[in-house]
Chains A and B, each alone.
Chain A
Amino acid sequence: MKELIERLRSKFNAKNIKEQRKNFVFITVEKKDLEGCVLYLKEFEGYGHLTLLTALDWIEKDQFELVYHLHNYSNKTDVSVKTFIDRKNPTMVSINNLWAGARVYEREIKELFGIDFPGCPRVNDPFALEGWHEIPPMRKDFDTKKYSEETYFPRPGRYTKDNVAQMEEQLYPVEAEVKNGIAETVRKK
């Protein structure tokens, strides 16, 4: 693993090397080096299996992170290659020509994060969502709560109580009356 890491460092300027376990390492490369790096790992280092391709939204850094998880069947080791792309113009080179299975991942990421993979077959077809009109739901600025409140009807008989009101009612009803009566005098215009 040590030698492999050294090779990735010198060839692809791999950074942020984190050896999660002795047979599993995370590396980060620049966007332009990503395709070359996974191609190299596949063709020259025996990492023939694309276990997973996924994305993370770092909204505060204005970036998306893409994670390519590769497995080597012969020595049972894993390399996870990460790269960061601009969140404003989220486009990434497609690797569907290296692994046919990447098509599914890329289509999924397109739908859930809105990251485009030009050249990937059927990348714009709906994946799991039907009739989706909102911003991609895995983006951090998607308001899940608002969406579920607007989309799903509340179950009949549901109720919720406010803990502050409950404590007022149960523990200090007189003082609560005083508080409300007094507060008005300061707010009154």
Chain B
Amino acid sequence: MSLKDIVSPFNAWKRAFEKPDTIVKPLSEREGSDLYRGFHINDIDKCIGCGSCEEICQNAAIDLVDVASVKAKPGDSGLRPLIDYGRCCWCALCVDICPTGSLGMSNDYTWISENSDDFRFIPGIDEKKWNRSEKGYRRSAESWLVDPNRQHMNEIEPDKRKKNFDEYAEGFTDEQAMAEAGRCLDCGICIQACPTHMDVPKYINAIRNKDLDEGLRIMYETNPMLEACGRICTAKCEDVCAVGHNGKPIAIRSLKRYIGDQTFKKKDEIMDLKPAASTGRKVGIIGGGPAGLTAAFYLRRFGHAVTLYEQHDKLGGMLKWGIPDYRLPADVLQREIDFILRQGVEVKYSVKVGKDISFDQLHKENDALFISVGAQIGSDMPIKGMETEGVYSGVEFLEKVAKGEKPFVGKEAVIVGGGNTAMDATRSSIRLGAKAKILYRRTEQEMPANREEIREAKEEGAELKILSTPTKIEKLPSGRLKIECLKMELGEPDKSGRRSPVPKEGSEFYIEADVCIMAIGQKVEPEFSETIGLKVTKWGTFEVHSDTLRSNDKVFAGGDCQTGPDDAIKAVAAGKKAAYFIDKQLRG
């Protein structure tokens, strides 16, 4: 035994009078480390009640519960997570999955209560001393379990695609679809935002399970125009997508298109729809756009006989005449319509109700009528020169394009308006060989068109002239148009919350162009409304009961002719709703 071995125990005594490392009670002074995973905190305003925390919790420690101070609203279920600390193992998976980043953990872990129920509480709602804690665990970009980046479809480059009307977005490959579907949290916040409330998480899940047949069946439960919607839907679902709060929303529309693209060849086989037993009731539908076609499909599923009256020689409505081929190819639309017709829908083409056949006759012949004539007339601007040759309305121009008439656009086209119709007219004029200039009276931010439509129009060379409005159009001796314009300024916000444009005095300027396309809005054909004698609103749309779309006795109306010009998916929702309430009425 060495001397060291004998002396060393006494070394301990040298610390006898130092400050001890141990801590005297109370323990509150001893703070957890900065990244400590202590009791949860939740930013209630940021949280959207998506339930991802509940879903991922491996100990079933989290419940989504009602909270008096939060109400459900679009994009937010109004529910908030309640955590049971008898089960929580502090693993922080709930924090790492949280799409909004509202959920975190404080570094507080010392708290004593004799009542075990106190250890079940709603972070952020129930007052706790750590609620405003800045310290503790938060998810980092690295630890986030969600991939913030979305898959992009392959697209033909702007310089090539602007030369023809071919579809330029190629659709997802299997790998892209699988990767994109894998980003979905399956939370279902999007379902409310969809006008027809499609079961988005269910069909995305079908992609993950490689069961696209089931995906197709899920989609037909809510939307028989899914192939069209997979290409041109305004995708309100993506606006509220939980992943969109801190990353790019799931490409829901592209996934919908993927299922449609992969299954259309075997659609009859997959859907395997046996005709429903006939009820002996007859329903007439006026207008074969998305609303009318959807109503026809589901009314047939209920077993009612359906006759569709269409003023054109082809069905599809605005999807056919208003949306150019490069966004929605005619054959895609046609195959989808054909499937609906195969359910046994009788169609009277080129029949204008009120002219070729009287409304009263239809009223007599049918047990119920659904009016879905759309808003097909382009609105005029109250300015001089609207009747000048070379001035088109947006819908009139697009209809000519759809018919393959190649309307004259010359070298320079001016398009007035900022909606999707304006973008369609712009990009169509470019494809017909013109340089396009868009006049819009507000700024780009206020444009109602989809952001990607605006971006793609610009990519194809469209010039955007904001805060400008035409005031007069004249024909020059050269045959070109002289468009007198005024500069605008943004004033106070109007009812829609957008700042209204105010003309700037003395700011007149002129532009020359070969054609001018007015895409400033559409309205219901007034002559038609007069013929059928239904109540109309001051905007000229049909007045119906908002819950049932019923007008009076057996007449229902829906789609653009009831809402004013809007998107296809809203028309689909209206057609579906009409079918349901017509069926209810017919069954008594």
- Whether both chains belong to one complex is answered with yes
Number of A-B contacts (CB under 8 A): 108
> Per-residue 0/1 for B548-588: is the Cβ within 8 Å of any A Cβ (1 yes, 0 no)?
00000000000000000000000001001101110100000
Do the beta carbons of B221 and A187 come within 8 Å of each other? Answer: yes
A133 within 8 A of B: no
Among B73, B79, B301, the residue within 8 A (CB) of A161 is B79
Across the interface, which residues of B come within 8 angstroms of A176, CB to CB? 197
Stretch at the interface among A9-17, A39-47, A73-81, A167-175: A167-175
Task: Count A-side interface residues using an 8 Å CB cutoff.
Answer: 34
Within 8 A of A (CB), among B261-301: 271, 273-274, 276, 298, 301
Say yes or no for A163: interface residue by CB 8 A criterion: yes
The answer to whether A179 touches B222 (Cβ under 8 A) is yes
Pair B577/A175 contact, Cβ less than 8 Å: yes
Closest beta carbon of chain A to B383's beta carbon, Å: 41
Q: CB-CB < 8 A to A166: which residues of B?
A: 49, 64, 72, 77-79
* Chain A residues with CB below 8 A from B276, complex form: 185, 188
A183 and B222 contacting across the interface, CB-CB below 8 Å? yes
| Contact pattern, B 69-107, Cβ under 8 Å of A = 1, otherwise 0 | 001111001110000101100000000000000000000
Q: A163-B79, A174-B547, A182-B580 are in contact. Are A145 and B58 (CB under 8 A)?
A: yes
How far is A168 from B74 in the complex, measured between Cα atoms in Å? 11
Q: How close is B326's CB to chain A, nearest CB, in angstroms?
A: 31
Pair B59/A148 contact, Cβ less than 8 Å? yes
Complex Cα spacing A9 to B192, Å: 59
Asked, given contacts A144-B59, A145-B58, whether A163 binds B64 with beta carbons under 8 Å apart, the answer is: yes
- For window 135-180 of chain A, which residues contact chain B by CB distance below 8 Å? 144-145, 148-149, 152, 154-155, 158-164, 166-168, 170-172, 174-179
A178 with B87: CB separation less than 8 A: no
B579: chain A residues at CB < 8 Å are 182
Please tell me if B310 contacts chain A, counting CB pairs below 8 Å: no
Contact with A along B303-317 (1 / 0, CB 8 A): 000000000000000
Residues 48-79 of chain A, each 1 if its beta carbon lies under 8 Å from chain B, else 0: 00000000000000000000000000000000
- Using Cβ atoms and an 8 Å threshold, which residues of chain B touch A178? 576-577, 580-581
Bound-state CA distance A179–B199 (Å) is 10
- Asked whether A186 is an interface residue with its Cβ less than 8 Å from the other chain, the reply is yes
**CB atoms of A175 and B573 under 8 A apart:** yes
A181 within 8 A of B: yes
Chain B residues, CB < 8 A from A185: 276, 298, 301-302
Interface size band for B: 35 or more
Q: Are A186 and B58 in contact (CB under 8 A)?
A: no
- B302 contacts across to A, CB distance below 8 A: 185
Q: Which residue of B is nearest A145, CB measured?
A: B58
A189 interface hit (Cβ, 8 Å): yes
CB neighbours (8 Å) of A145 from chain B are 57-60
Interchain CA distance A189-B275 in the complex, whole Å: 10
Binds A, one of B31-39, B183-191, B367-375, B464-472: B183-191
Given A167-B191, A171-B192, are A160 and B74 neighbors across the interface (CB < 8 Å)? no
Q: Which A-chain residue is minimally distant from B73 (CB atoms)? A: A171
Query: Which chain A positions have C-beta within 8 A of B66?
Result: 161
Q: How far is the CA of A104 from the CA of B90 in the complex (A)?
A: 25
| Contacts A145-B58, A148-B58, A163-B51; A171 near B74 (Cβ below 8 A) | yes
B120 within 8 A of A: yes
Which of A168, A174, A176, A185 has the most CB atoms of chain B within a 10 A radius of its CB?
A185
B488 near A: Cβ within 8 Å? no
**Shortest Cβ gap from A137 to chain B (Å):** 11
Chain B, 37-66, contact with A by CB distance < 8 Å: what is the 0/1 string?
A: 000000000000111001001111001111
Task: Report how far A183 CA is from B73 CA in the complex, Å.
Answer: 24
Which residues of B (84-141) have their CB < 8 Å from a CB of A? Answer: 84, 86-87, 120
Do B72 and A161 touch (CB < 8 A)?
no
Chain B residue at smallest Cβ distance from A170: B72
Task: Tell me whether B187 and A170 are in contact (CB under 8 A).
Answer: no
Restricting to B188-232, which residues have a CB under 8 Å from any CB of A? 188-189, 191-192, 196-197, 217, 220-222
Identify the closest chain A residue to B573 (Cβ). A175
B57: A residues at CB distance < 8 A: 145
Across the interface, do A161 and B64 meet the contact criterion of CB distance under 8 Å?
yes
- Residues in A with CB closer than 8 Å to B120 are 155
A159-B63, A160-B64 known; A186 and B217 CB under 8 Å?
Answer: yes
- A173 CA to B577 CA, complexed, in Å: 13
Provide the residues of chain A in CB contact with B197, threshold 8 Å.
172, 175-176, 179
- Residues of chain B with a CB closer than 8 A to A188's CB: 276, 301
With both chains docked as a complex, state the minimum distance between the C-beta of B278 and any C-beta of chain A, in angstroms. Answer: 14
Would you list the 8 A-B pairs with minimal beta carbon distance, nearest first? A163-B77, A185-B301, A144-B58, A183-B221, A160-B63, A170-B72, A164-B188, A178-B580
Give the A-binding residues of B (Cβ under 8 A).
49-51, 54, 57-60, 63-66, 71-74, 77-79, 84, 86-87, 120, 187-189, 191-192, 196-197, 217, 220-222, 271, 273-274, 276, 298, 301-302, 547, 573, 576-577, 579-581, 583
Q: Which residues of A line the B interface, CB within 8 A?
A: 144-145, 148-149, 152, 154-155, 158-164, 166-168, 170-172, 174-179, 181-183, 185-189
- Kindly list 18 other residue pairs between chains A and B, CB separation below 8 angstroms, not including A163-B79, A170-B71, A175-B577: A155-B120, A158-B84, A160-B54, A160-B65, A163-B51, A166-B49, A166-B72, A167-B192, A168-B192, A170-B78, A171-B74, A176-B197, A178-B581, A182-B222, A182-B301, A183-B221, A186-B273, A187-B221
CB-defined A-B contacts under 8 Å, sample of 12: A155-B86, A159-B65, A160-B63, A161-B63, A163-B51, A163-B64, A163-B79, A170-B71, A172-B192, A175-B577, A179-B197, A183-B221
